[in-house]
Structure 1
Amino acid sequence: MDGTHGKEVEEETMNQALMASKAKSVAAGSGESSRPVTEIPSQKLSVNLTDARNAMHACIIAVGLFMSVLMINWCQVIDTMKKIWKARGDVNVTPLPGRRFILEFAVEGDMRHAIRGGPWRYRGDAFLVTKLEVGMEPSLIQFSTVPIWVQFHKIPIYLLSKNLAKQLGEKVADVLLVDVNSHENVSEKFIRARVLLPLHAALQKSITLTDEETEEEVVTQLRYERLPNFCLYRGLIRHKEPQCFAPEAGKKIRYSKEICLPPFIQGDPRSWLMSRGPTRGTLLLAPTQPQQQMAIEEVANGVANLLMKENSNSNMPTANKAQLNSSSLTFNL
């Protein structure tokens, strides 16, 4: 047995020597020598990151987020959005992880429309768009709100006003615009406000108006136009019932799909664009096709006239104005 082991050792030694000989021959054939290999130090290349970053942000760039668990073809999602937006220029798209997209618009008005219009939906789920500001990383942008029209129903006709629409809207979220018209017949009239609806909060279903003297209460019902899919258990837009993480005991239907309504004004996405800051509540018109321009201008003129009429009524006595508190609106009914 010792003789067999010695033979194996001898064969292993010969194999190692043969391999070393071959390696030496290859090195000699390629011009290599036995001297140590010289390591190349890490190199640097100077570039102007600031100019490159500013050049990118000089473009008309936004970031989109598709809030869904659906298995999707992102090309179909973007093609659908382009058709809904009726983009007049090209929209170049770069997909990112997490169902995000870099959207480069050729026309600035198209980007404004994509950001301020909506809510946008693909197969019922929300598609959010926000501007890519200088210095921001697309993957780190937080999407926390969605612009949406809210209708307020079951309001006594003697309370219908622009002031009330604004105050009711403020009970929901930051108000972008108020529709000063009241709609439907006398017994079913409603008013509207466009707000930045927070995605982290449950949808409100009602707001109570309370008389400041008699404590009489009037409950107004809320309806949301073009509302994306939401959880009927918790009222959150971020998911539907199958994806809800609520405890099993809390998984009870608390919402109805009747809270979601189609847009009251079909031209709404293109014509009702809002400004921010000191001029909040004014109407901005994005560039439109020539054949649509006249109709949009008529809408704008009509709204402007109504705004002027409501402003003339804003000097009413203080005692007749609505006053806010933490849980309801207090009125002198």
Structure 2
Amino acid sequence: KDAARKAVSGHLVVDRLLSPFQANPRVIVDELRATAWKHQGVVTVQEVASDDGRFVLNFAAEGDRRFMLKAQPWHYKRDGLVFAEFDGKGDPTEIDLGVMAIWVQVRGLPFELKTESMGWSFWDQIGEVLEVSHHNHVIVEKFLRVRVEVILHEPLKSTVEFIPLGSSKIVKYDVLYEKLPLYYECCGIVGHTSERFCNIPSDKGVPTFPKNLSVEAYWKGQGVSRRVLNVGGSSHGEKVPITGININKAVKTMDIIKVASAVRELIVSEKEVVVPASSATMAMKEFAGAEPGQEGQAKALG
């Protein structure tokens, strides 16, 4: 009993490498500790019998574990690493490692659409939204940045779409991923590094995804220490403190702005979700007519 209790004590995560190649988990951790993590405490590797090569990390310091989870994704030789919290109970092979949290930059948005509430509305286009980067609910960075959960067995999204006010044409805005691991240009799936590891037949494999969907972490260009990055609820730096709100909490306390989703043609009104009588253009009119000060939290659609 004492041995079992000791095995599950500490601060745990489950991890796997997004690569068709196997790698020694201790080698992975040693390299990350030397080059990226700079942890303050000890971390122990515990191997797991699994089909996907997953393993458990036991952190002596909870702060190290929080930092490692918050600053995902991490890389090992350009392949991605996926981590998930583990309470030490049950089978670690049953922990879902099929999603990856990552910061996304939406490029080229018109100024009036670069809002926190617009960021929350992207859930049905680029993945479940976890956070929107803002300062007092105002987007102060160069791009609208949204932290989303990417489903790893689905292709990456390279654009988001809108119907501008007064137009019937759909316009697209580019999406870039911060610290995106390797993906295959023919299928757009993270972890498929070449045609050899993809289900698409080699004679039908045509590159349809851009080569340059990945950009460096935003903080790197701002002179901000990585260790400050949202650890313990702190912001992206003292000069421009960026805060992320958990949507489950925000929906209960914030007013809701009228936002259109061109894909599902839904409007998030101030008090309810309604289906528009016409198109997303009408919804954009509602959005443009929002009162000053209403640019608060948008409720998650659905």
Give the structure-2-normalised TM-score.
0.72
Q: 1:284 is matched with which residue: 228, 233, 242?
A: 233
User: Residues 1-333 of structure 1 correspond to what in structure 2 (within 5 A)?
Assistant: 56-70=7-21, 72-83=23-34, 84-97=36-49, 98-169=52-123, 171-180=125-134, 181-184=139-142, 190-211=143-164, 214-241=167-194, 242-266=196-220, 267=224, 270-273=227-230, 284-285=233-234, 298=238, 302-303=241-242, 321-326=258-263, 330=280, 331-332=284-285
Aligned to 1:6: none
The runs of at least 4 aligned residues of structure 1 exceeding 6 Å deviation read: none
| CA shift digits 1:260-306 (9 cap, x unpaired) | 111111248543448xxxxxxxx714xxxxxxxxx96625x73359x
Report the Cα offset of residue 115 of structure 1.
Answer: 2.0
Report the Cα offset of residue 100 of structure 1.
Answer: 2.1
AA aligned opposite 2:26: C
AA aligned opposite 1:157: F
In structure 2, C-alpha distance between the alignment counterparts of 1:268 and 1:213, rounded to whole Å: 44
In structure 2, C-alpha distance between the alignment counterparts of 1:71 and 1:213, rounded to whole Å: 53
Report the Cα offset of residue 211 of structure 1.
Answer: 3.5
- Give the structure with higher Rg (CA): 1
AA aligned opposite 2:100: V
How many residues get paired?
A: 252
In structure 2, C-alpha distance between the alignment counterparts of 1:249 and 1:327, rounded to whole Å: 35
| CA shift digits 1:224-258 (9 cap, x unpaired) | 01000011111101311231121335311011221
AA aligned opposite 2:53: R
SS at match of 1:258: coil
SS at match of 2:118: helix
SS at match of 1:126: strand
Aligned to 2:270: none
In structure 1, C-alpha distance between the alignment counterparts of 2:226 and 2:82, rounded to whole Å: 14
Structure 1 residues not aligned, in runs of 5+: 1-47, 185-189, 275-282, 286-294, 306-313
Check whether the contact 2:25–2:55 (CA below 8 A) recurs between aligned residues: no
SS at match of 2:183: coil
| Bigger relative contact order, structure 1 or 2 (CA pairs below 8 A, ≥6 apart) | 2
Report the Cα offset of residue 153 of structure 1.
Answer: 1.0
Structure 2 residues not aligned, in runs of 5+: 245-253, 267-279, 289-302
Over the aligned positions, Cα root-mean-square deviation in angstroms equals 3.2
In structure 2, C-alpha distance between the alignment counterparts of 1:107 and 1:253, rounded to whole Å: 44
In structure 2, C-alpha distance between the alignment counterparts of 1:57 and 1:75, rounded to whole Å: 19
Call closer, same or farther: CA 1:113–1:55 in 2, change over 3 Å.
same
Check whether the contact 2:75–2:181 (CA below 8 A) recurs between aligned residues: yes
Call closer, same or farther: CA 1:152–1:297 in 2, change over 3 Å.
closer
AA aligned opposite 1:220: Y
Check whether the contact 1:128–1:146 (CA below 8 A) recurs between aligned residues: yes
Report the Cα offset of residue 196 of structure 1.
Answer: 1.5
AA aligned opposite 2:192: H
In structure 2, C-alpha distance between the alignment counterparts of 1:166 and 1:197, rounded to whole Å: 15
Report the Cα offset of residue 192 of structure 1.
Answer: 0.8
Report the Cα offset of residue 110 of structure 1.
Answer: 0.8
Report the Cα offset of residue 56 of structure 1.
Answer: 4.1
| CA shift digits 1:103-158 (9 cap, x unpaired) | 11110111122222221001110111112224321233330111111010121122
